[in-house]
Amino acid sequence: MTSRRQLFLSLIFLSLGGLVLPAWAQPQPPIKILVGAPAGGTTDTMARTLAMVLGTQLGRTVVVENKPGAGGNLAADAVAKAAPDGNTLLMSFTSHAINASLYPSLPFDPVKDFTPLTMVSTSPSILVAHPRLPANNVKELMALAKTKPGQLNFAIGALGSSLHMAGDAFKMQAGVFIVNIPYRGTAPAVQDVLAGQVDLMFAAVGNVQSHIKAGKLKALGVTSAKRLAAFPDVPAIGESLPGYESSAWFGLFAPGRMNPEVAKKLADAARAAVQSPEVKRRIENEGATPVGNSPEEFSRFVDSEIVRWRKVVQYAGAKPE
């Protein structure tokens, strides 16, 4: 009886051993999305918002791991060196393109070592000033700055950030000299503009919206190509400075050299997640705009951003912190 039972079990194991399951059907570890910024920030929020629905799309567990430091380079380096099996992804932001010229050397290639999957969202900023500044719009600010070169100043929440570069791009295109005052974080920068210690600041809408509505800051212009629905009376800076536009962006990358089928499965799932009502609503609540474009479109965009920000970095002579 025992020998028959053993024979029966052996036949079952042999037959099962002959089955070859698809790679995606095999038991898988959680997918990790690395974030090169601290928990609680906009990049972290975007990653966690996406992770919830992305996991459902893929039938996998998706977790977010924060790895802040060096303007997002620590997380980017970890993903660049990760196995291209789809288990390690990167939620990156505008600094991915800025860092290509801001840092003298990087331990990875920002293009070749990554597979762009989709842009998750874009987020314009807003140029605010202390109420006592004698300029009520961008046109008046440019005129004032030209009569007082070096006497006005910008609060910079982080050197090399998209908001820092938005200010330098403004100065470059307007041909004005406004002094940068760097801070270690957005919160102290906002506080000093509120206190009148600093004149101006480019800020994320969510960080200053309540202060604008309370009359503690005045909004001079938005960095998007068009006016924002939340501030219909605040002109786009481009209305007074043709060609000016600057928005932070957040995008999902995988390691380079990835199998095209795996990359397509990830990209399709990420785009579906971004376009889902739940994720769109959460992104819009952050004052951002959902995108969910194709890998090809996102790749071309990143290439153009690297070229664009190189010109601004060279103009400003910016250095990493």
Identity at 313, one-letter amino acid code:
V
The pTM (predicted TM-score) of the whole model is 0.81
Structure token pair of residue 24: 């995606």
* Residues of the chain above pLDDT 90, percent: 72
Calculate the average pLDDT of the chain. 90
Q: Is the pLDDT of residue 200 over 80?
A: yes
Which tens digit of pLDDT belongs to each residue from 15-72?
444 444 454 455 689 999 999 988 888 889 899 999 989 999 999 999 999 999 888 9
Which tens digit of pLDDT belongs to each residue from 184-195?
888 899 999 999
Q: What is the mean pLDDT of residues 283-310?
A: 93
Band the pLDDT of 158: cuts 50, 70, 90: confident
Domains assigned to the chain: 20-123+248-316 (3.40.190.150), 124-239 (3.40.190.10)
Q: What is the mean pLDDT of residues 216-222?
A: 97
Among the listed ranges 106-110, 204-208, 220-224, which one has the minimum average pLDDT value?
204-208
Predicted confidence at residue 15, as pLDDT, reads: 47
Band the pLDDT of 320: cuts 50, 70, 90: confident
Predicted confidence at residue 31, as pLDDT, reads: 97
Among the listed ranges 58-72, 75-89, 304-318, which one has the minimum average pLDDT value?
304-318
Which tens digit of pLDDT belongs to each residue from 257-286?
999 999 999 999 999 999 999 999 999 888
